[in-house]
Structure 1
Amino acid sequence: MTILNRERLFAASLHLRQGDAQQAKAVMLRRDGDRFIAAYDPERASLDTAAVLTRALLSSERITISEVILEGHDPDLTALYGAASKLLLDVEITSGPRTTEPTVKVRSQDPTQATYFIPEDWDLSEALDRLPAAFADARPEVARNLKRIEQAKKDSGGKIDHALDVVAVLVLETDDPDGVYDKVLHLLHQVRTARTTEAAPATAA
């Protein structure tokens, strides 16, 4: 697996808004600079479906979505989608009898295939409050490492926030914190060695 690539270093946001029946497809996607904008026809695709399909399409093109931002939707729903997307979670509001409380479930061995299931009659602000605990139950090791990364951001005073955000995404995607740290440290060592070599005075012939 290639842990670091340009797409991961420059992750994009996905903005979701309602379209209408006149658009050619159920979900219309376009790029606007460092963000993607998707308009969905609610008669042909639910919000949940539009978000899942769009993220899956972009993922297949090796594009990392750093955040899903809903436009023109309920504020509590918007906040929930934003927080869940930062943990690489899809959101599904379900009426099924198997889901009695907000729960994160990993659907396959791929750690990015995880969904935050919420009963349809559940208060969305409470579901948002429960998200960290639900995520920690499903992926405890990753949750612990994300807390460490957040603490490192505070300790550094914001000086290396972007680099630490990239590390957090890598940990979420790979489910291998130690492997990510080893790779990042190896790259930092290579950079330091290269700079030392460049700074060394040339030896006289």
Structure 2
Amino acid sequence: MTVISLSQLNDVTVRIRLGTAIQDKPIMVGRDGDRFTVAYDLERVSLDGAAMLSRSWLRTMGYTVAEIILEDHDPDLTALYRSCSKLRMNIEHTEGPLITEPVVKGRGEDWSYMVPKGWDLSDALDRLPTAFATARPNIARNLRRIEQARRESGGKIDQALAVTASLILETGDPEGVYDELAPLLARTQPESDESAA
């Protein structure tokens, strides 16, 4: 059974920008409230590497990266990174014969959108939902159910649904998340008139 930790509820946004050649480390991380900024030295680390390392480091600090926003990068690359981050995935630009088109792959708890170098980024973004659903059908199915519930609720429980979706993405265990949340939700229900009498 999934045990939900406080760190899985601690979602943060990370803004990534190119650093300067004079920065001390390949990756410099700063914090502003619930947002983190990452400056990376392209001579010493790739953007993909900087994003992955930042996600891993923040996880060890008890944070879950829920959104990555690139500053001063190509708009198509920025859109792709943002969309992948919302699905809790890294991006890896690959070379070689094994990856011939964009595909989602998992390694343990980590998932990446593998995009061949030189691939049209707008096309990669268009293919992302199908690639994600193919690799993680159960997760994609549950996210669709949550989105449907959000539309039907008229915004009344958006925050609860957003937390549920975040936990499902982070744990990869929808049934475990529902099992953990159900007792909590039951305890927050107001007493019925009959029981209150």
Q: Give TM class, smaller chain.
A: over 0.9
* 2:98 aligned residue: 98
- Paired with 1:63 and 1:183, the residues of 2 have a C-alpha distance of 20
Fraction of identical pairs, as percent: 54
Gaps of 5+ in 2: none
* 1:183 aligned residue: 180
* 1:3 aligned residue: 4
Q: How far has the Cα of 1:191 moved from its partner?
A: 2.3
Post-superposition, which runs of at least 4 consecutive aligned residues in structure 1 deviate over 2 A? 7-10
* 2:146 aligned residue: 149
CA RMSD of aligned residues (A): 1.8
Task: Tell me how many residue pairs correspond in the alignment.
Answer: 194
Counterparts of residues 70-109 of structure 1 (less than 5 Å): 70-108=70-108
Which structure would you say has the larger RCO, counting Cα contacts within 8 Å and 6 or more residues apart?
2
Counterparts of residues 133-144 of structure 1 (less than 5 Å): 133-144=130-141
Larger radius of gyration: 1
Q: How far has the Cα of 1:24 moved from its partner?
A: 1.0
Give SS of 1:121's match: coil
Q: Letter of the 1:129 partner, please give it.
A: D
- Paired with 1:139 and 1:171, the residues of 2 have a C-alpha distance of 11
- Paired with 1:154 and 1:178, the residues of 2 have a C-alpha distance of 22
- Paired with 2:159 and 2:25, the residues of 1 have a C-alpha distance of 35
Q: Letter of the 1:3 partner, please give it.
A: I
Per the normalisation by structure 1, the TM-score is 0.89
- Paired with 2:21 and 2:160, the residues of 1 have a C-alpha distance of 42
Give SS of 1:115's match: strand
Structure 2 counterpart of 1:167, from 157, 164, 170: 164
8 Å CA contact retained: 1:8, 1:166: no
Per the normalisation by structure 2, the TM-score is 0.92
Counterparts of residues 53-132 of structure 1 (less than 5 Å): 53-108=53-108, 110=109, 113-132=110-129
